Structure 1
Amino acid sequence: DLKETWGALDDIVMGGVSESSIRLTGTGALFSGNVSTANSGGFVSVRTRNFDPPMNLLGAAGIELRVKGDGKRYKFFLRCEDKWDGVGYSYSFDTVYNIWTTIRIPFKDLTPVFRAKVVENAQPFNPSQIYSYQLMLSKFEYNRELNPKFTPGFFQLEVESIKTYGSDQLPKFVLVSSAGVTRPGRPGLNLDEQPPAVKFNDQLKGLLNWKLKGEEVVRSSGINYTVIRPCGMTEQPGGQALIFDQGDNIKGIVSRDDIAELCIKVLEETQACNTTFEAKGDKENQASAEIWKKLFNSLEVDKNKSVVTV
């Protein structure tokens, strides 16, 4: 029942006079009311009761909203603790007047806030422990910055659905193979210029051939996967940026620490699903969020592969 799950939480708790409500319509739920800046107010919201037990959204990439708004900018919050007045993980989104819009909220883009102030040292967002959802219209964005699309008065936001997305588009299995697995027997290859594993593959009893067979088993399994082919791995400390390539041509070295971090990151990247790629260290750059994003966006899905829905 909607009224048993959602309830209004407006600026009246701080002396304001704004009012909101949520009710069922023929196409979903309507969050509406009047927002006022009188008495230093300026926000309205509806929030769920704490989920018991908390929701486990691990494996999803984010939340997808289907909404029809009034041209204003709203916020969506998720909370990872059962405190009523604790840190919330927020995402601001714009609406188009009287037009149905799909809003995707990536978990990795959520901002930890407490009473509209960014919490710099907050715990990482934990999708496996979601206690509540909240929709809000506020005159403030974050850290006292004003919402550029806020106007006092009547508002309405119709919500058709709130659901996760991406849970069927993430890798379920990560295989660490080797760069060079397709090179033994490749026509025109100069073995003197190749890494030892390629040069001495026969003496190693076809080690790279067996690794390639392992890749083929994973790719034909029906499981969403990522195959990582590191170049020569070293015991050097991690922290370098990486270079990705596809086609099994690059040579170089890479820290085992950086490959371990890569294995963790691909589990949260839809762009890495059903891909095979080589990786080596980038001597010129240190790892950063911007570089990681660029690397994953460069990947192409393996031929004749598609994401498997589970």
Structure 2
Amino acid sequence: MSDKNRSQWDLGRFIETLTYFEVIPFLNWVQQLIQGRPQKYENQPIGGSNVGVILVAGATGGVGKRVVRRLKARGEKVRCLVRDIDKAKAILGDDVDLVVADITKPETLTPVVMANIQAVICCTAVRVQPVEGDTADRAKYYQGVKFYQPEIVGDTPENVEYQGVKNLVEVATKYLSKSNEKLIFDFTQPSTELKNVWGALDDVVMGGVSASNIIFVENTALFTGNVSTDNSGGFASVRTKNFEPPFDLSGCEGVELRVKGDGQRYKLFLRTDAKWDGLGYSYSFDTVANTWINIRIPFANLIPVFRAKVVKDAPSIDTQKVCSWQLMLSKFEYDGALNPHFSPGGFTLQVESIKGYSQNTLPQFILVSSAGVTRPGRPGLNLDEQPPAVRLNDQLGGILTWKLKGEDSVRASGIPYTIIRPCALTEESGGQELILEQGDNIRGKISREDVAEICVQALQQITASYQTFEVKSAENITNSINWESLFSQLQPDRNVENRE
């Protein structure tokens, strides 16, 4: 194409751009009549797969079924790992995602079971039932049953409490995304929605003749085109339509781009204003030619701009209301300064993903263990004063010993975790005040309802990460618990291997 032709402003492309981004009401109305109602874009990660599944192991058990019920009530995506599908349907209903697997058989923990998980709650336990014919001194055990000795039914504590938990941890580690990252755009698996939300926005809107496009090739988004400084132009960009509702990135410290460029300096814009020509928050980043790099952009470093001019009295970005995104190659930096790494002509920027990031981490593996796991064999311990589970540990196949080894496999995994050690479990109503301690010394009881609530709440609390604690109920009923404050009173585990 000759310089003469390239300098001719394209009115048709100008109108097409404004129509695509729904700037001209009348044209938008005509377009909707022809194409149907416009699609709404939800503020969920955009890609080729659904993300955010919480996997519950032991989902048909006393605690597990209550965890599932609570997660569903919160609107979470739940997947239940079960061994008996008919039993699971009878307990959990038909409206739950059920997968058949057995944590004691790692070959059953397939990609179908583990796909798209963001967290695991493990409530598995060996079955224990009372057997008649023992003394009161040794027999008092689960659910207040007296004059009976407990007996293991089915699989062994070693297989379930240790090897099974270890199997689940090892497989989950391969599938869990980093909890301190929030996937926003996944260009490796582009969905139809993703392809329809991005469009070109070039200097044609101000009389220029630059032209760009976004193409989805080789599991990436390719921002490419030609930048011309003719007609006082000099920028090309791709921008999303407005998201409704907007993205809530309040839990993040910034965004991270995975890109491969051509050595030029590009810009990223985030907008919290749905206006076509409103305030944007910009960051310039350099690329390395033909090399994949990660670009971290702290929200604190974003520059508020309007038409490439810095708005000095603008507030910091409201990260709860990010409604549109834009990538740009421009001749200019800010306030008339030139881009030091700009050259007119063809350009290419490949983008693999855009994520939110944080230095803090939410728990991704919640393990329901038991109080007393460190007490068997503890020097100077008076067994007569200990709960039956401690006194009968050997008779029960070392159940507490194996639970402790299962805990250790979680702590050594590198996954952010919360290990909950409840005292004796009951079928009483929940909603009582809770007492959390560390050191494995307390005795008492706690409702399965309250343990299930702790599991669900821990997933939302950064202060619950890398914590191991015992818990029992107080006598008082409470209407609300400050979970952040409750967890923050604890001391994180020390010497966690592979901890990030």
Could you say which TM-score interval applies, normalised by the shorter chain? 0.5 to 0.7
Of residues 190, 212, 227 in structure 2, which corresponds to 1:35?
A: 227
Kept in 2: contact 1:224–1:307 (CA 8 A):
no
Of residues 212, 216, 224 in structure 1, which corresponds to 2:462?
A: 224
Kept in 2: contact 1:59–1:167 (CA 8 A):
no
Change (3 A) 1:157 1:13: same
Of residues 285, 288, 300 in structure 2, which corresponds to 1:108?
A: 300
Kept in 2: contact 1:79–1:87 (CA 8 A):
yes
* Counterpart amino acid of residue 227 in structure 2: V
Q: Which residue of 1 aligns with 2:239?
A: 47
CA deviation after TM superposition for structure 1 residue 165, in Å: 1.2
Of residues 358, 361, 364 in structure 2, which corresponds to 1:166?
A: 358
Q: Which residue of 2 aligns with 1:82?
A: 274
Cα distance in 2 for residues equivalent to 1:156 and 1:133: 18
Change (3 A) 1:33 1:302: same
SS at match of 1:158: strand
CA deviation after TM superposition for structure 1 residue 169, in Å: 3.4
* Counterpart amino acid of residue 304 in structure 1: N
1:55-112 C-alpha deviation (Å, 9 max, x unpaired): 1111111111110100000000100111111110111100000001111111111110
Change (3 A) 1:121 1:26: same
Change (3 A) 1:216 1:37: farther
**1:25 maps onto 2:231 in alignment:** no
Cα distance in 2 for residues equivalent to 1:105 and 1:116: 18
Q: Which residue of 1 aligns with 2:339?
A: 147
Change (3 A) 1:123 1:149: same
RMSD, aligned CA: 3.3
SS at match of 1:13: helix
Cα distance in 2 for residues equivalent to 1:79 and 1:19: 22
SS at match of 1:108: helix
Matched residue count: 196
- Give the 5 Å matches for 1:128-207: 128-166=320-358, 168-169=360-361
1:16-57 C-alpha deviation (Å, 9 max, x unpaired): 110000010112110000001011000000000000111111
* Greater fraction of residues in helix: 2
* Counterpart amino acid of residue 224 in structure 1: I
Q: Which residue of 1 aligns with 2:262?
A: 70
Cα distance in 2 for residues equivalent to 1:215 and 1:44: 58
Change (3 A) 1:169 1:61: farther
Of residues 3, 7, 12 in structure 1, which corresponds to 2:204?
A: 12
Cα distance in 2 for residues equivalent to 1:168 and 1:124: 21
Cα distance in 2 for residues equivalent to 1:129 and 1:308: 33
1:214-250 C-alpha deviation (Å, 9 max, x unpaired): 9979xxx975349xxxxxxxxxxxxxxxxxxxxxxxx
Change (3 A) 1:16 1:164: same
CA deviation after TM superposition for structure 1 residue 3, in Å: 3.9
**TM-score normalised by length of structure 2:** 0.36
Cα distance in 2 for residues equivalent to 1:162 and 1:93: 14
Cα distance in 2 for residues equivalent to 1:90 and 1:307: 36
Change (3 A) 1:224 1:13: same
* Counterpart amino acid of residue 212 in structure 2: S
Q: Which residue of 2 aligns with 1:98?
A: 290
Cα distance in 2 for residues equivalent to 1:105 and 1:305: 29
* Greater fraction of residues in strand: 1
CA deviation after TM superposition for structure 1 residue 125, in Å: 0.7
* Counterpart amino acid of residue 221 in structure 2: A
Cα distance in 2 for residues equivalent to 1:215 and 1:80: 44
1:190-209 C-alpha deviation (Å, 9 max, x unpaired): xxxxxxxxxxxxxxxxxxxx
Change (3 A) 1:215 1:19: farther
Q: Percent identity?
A: 58
Change (3 A) 1:19 1:170: same
* Structure with max Cα Rg: 2
* Counterpart amino acid of residue 50 in structure 1: N
Cα distance in 1 for residues equivalent to 2:361 and 2:295: 18
Moved over 4 A (4+): 213-217, 305-309
SS at match of 1:146: coil
Q: Which residue of 1 aligns with 2:67?
A: none
SS at match of 1:12: helix
Change (3 A) 1:18 1:128: same
SS at match of 2:282: strand
* Counterpart amino acid of residue 44 in structure 1: A
Unaligned runs of 5+ in 1: 172-212, 227-266, 268-273, 277-300
1:268-298 C-alpha deviation (Å, 9 max, x unpaired): xxxxxx9x9xxxxxxxxxxxxxxxxxxxxxx
